[in-house]
Amino acid sequence: MIPEDLPDVVRQALREDLGSGDLTAALIPEGQMLKARIISREPGIVCGQPYATATFAALSAQLHVQWQVAEGSAVIAEQELCIIEGPARALLSGERCALNFLQTLSGTATAVQDYVALLQGTRTRLLDTRKTIPGLRQAQKYAVRIGGGHNHRLGLFDGILIKENHIAACGSITAALHAAQALAPALTRIEIEVENLEQLEEALAAGADMILLDNFTLENLRSAVQRVNGKIPLEASGNMGLHNIAAVAATGVDFISVGSLTRNLQSLDLSLRYF
């Protein structure tokens, strides 16, 4: 599903870049037409086509984008992604914003697929976090889905996740869970973070809907999975990376959350060339 805030995000990006007008594009004669293509400079997963298309459309109804690959496709170096044709001024003014969206979201989707590939053959699903670029949360979470991952909470409003500081402020795991159960809207999932097997037992006794196992060893993850025995979902988190995600999944946890998917961003290298 395309994020509902896409039009606002695109408008803000263009407002930020264009300001009172593109001084350099004004050098081009009005009415001149251009044709360009976007090329991948390295292998990856293409993501962000709706954002790029909306960027060009916002600048001119005469700008037409023809995508040569589907959203979510794997591409190789030097592969043509799309052809853009229309007024030169509008094309030049939208080039950077469109590429920024494509490069950022493609980078996220590519990283996600690298993780998802390591989970093949297991029951574990990959989750994102709220560690996102301000203003691009829905866009990045969209890219996670395109890459094959799953979204955790969108924000603080659509789920309860009780973490270490909440527990400290409430006094205990039991107190925090009971407060959440009393205040939570109907059907709201209540998840709580635990740091050891003793806290796991307390969370289970207090009626958590889901438990986050923070920085557990592989041995303790296996013990937690055996103890819970499928009664509620278990999420593993903390220092997760490509180096250890397969071993963590092998313990039998339901979810693994990885903050670096949207935080440690490496954009996919793309180029726009005129012809």
pLDDT of residue 186: 84
Q: Is 193 a residue of the active site?
A: yes
pLDDT of residue 185: 87
Q: Is 35 a residue of the active site?
A: no
In degrees and rounded to multiples of 5, residue 251 shows phi and psi of -75, -15
How many whole angstroms separate alpha carbon 90 and alpha carbon 26?
10
- When the pLDDT of each residue in the chain is averaged and rounded to a whole number, the result is 97
Task: Point out the catalytic residue in the list 42, 114, 214, 269.
Answer: 214
Contact assessment for residue 145 and residue 151, using Cβ atoms and an 8 Å cutoff: yes
Residues 18, 105, 248: CA angle, nearest 5 degrees: 150
Task: Point out the catalytic residue in the list 5, 42, 80, 96.
Answer: 96
How many whole angstroms separate alpha carbon 69 and alpha carbon 13?
24
Q: What is the DSSP string of 206-221?
A: TT-SEEEEET--HHHH
For the chain, what percent of residues have pLDDT higher than 90?
97
How many whole angstroms separate alpha carbon 132 and alpha carbon 155?
11
Average pLDDT over residues 83-99: 97
Q: Is 131 a residue of the active site?
A: yes
pLDDT higher than threshold 90 for residue 40 = yes
pLDDT of residue 203: 98
pLDDT of residue 187: 82
pLDDT higher than threshold 90 for residue 233 = yes
Task: Point out the catalytic residue in the list 37, 130, 131, 153.
Answer: 131
Per the structure block, which two tokens stand in for 212? 């986050």
pLDDT of residue 162: 97
**In Å, how far from its chain's centre is CA 177?**
28
Helices (H), 65-194: 88-118, 137-146, 164-170, 173-183
pLDDT of residue 204: 98
Whose CA is closest to 109, among 274, 267, 270?
267
pLDDT of residue 21: 94
Task: Point out the catalytic residue in the list 11, 35, 163, 227.
Answer: 163
Task: Point out the catalytic residue in the list 95, 191, 193, 235.
Answer: 193
pLDDT higher than threshold 90 for residue 100 = yes
Average pLDDT over residues 44-69: 98
pLDDT digits (tens, 9 = 90+) for 158-200: 999 999 999 999 999 999 999 999 998 888 999 999 999 999 9
Q: Is 227 a residue of the active site?
A: no
Q: Is 123 a residue of the active site?
A: no
Q: What is the DSSP string of 21-49?
A: --TTGGGSPTT-EEEEEEEESS-EE---H
Per the structure block, which two tokens stand in for 2? 């395309």
Whose CA is closest to 218, among 260, 252, 192, 258?
252
pLDDT higher than threshold 90 for residue 82 = yes
pLDDT of residue 199: 98
How many whole angstroms separate alpha carbon 221 and alpha carbon 18?
51
Question: Which residue in this structure is represented by tokens 């690959």?
Answer: 69
pLDDT digits (tens, 9 = 90+) for 106-154: 999 999 999 999 999 999 999 999 999 999 999 999 999 999 999 999 9
Cβ-based burial of 203 (10 A; exposed 0-12, middle 13-18, buried ≥19): buried
- Non-local (6+) Cβ contacts of 18 within 8 A are 93
Whole-angstrom CA distances from 261 to 22, 41, 193 are 34, 21, 20
Contact assessment for residue 52 and residue 84, using Cβ atoms and an 8 Å cutoff: no
| 78: confidence class by pLDDT, cuts 50, 70, 90 | very high
Catalogue all structural domains in the chain, each as residue range(s) with its CATH number: 6-116+266-274 (3.90.1170.20), 119-263 (3.20.20.70)
Per the structure block, which two tokens stand in for 50? 């709706």
Sign of torsion over alpha carbons 165, 171, 172, 177: negative
pLDDT higher than threshold 90 for residue 33 = yes
Residues 111, 235, 165: CA angle, nearest 5 degrees: 105
How many whole angstroms separate alpha carbon 235 and alpha carbon 162?
13
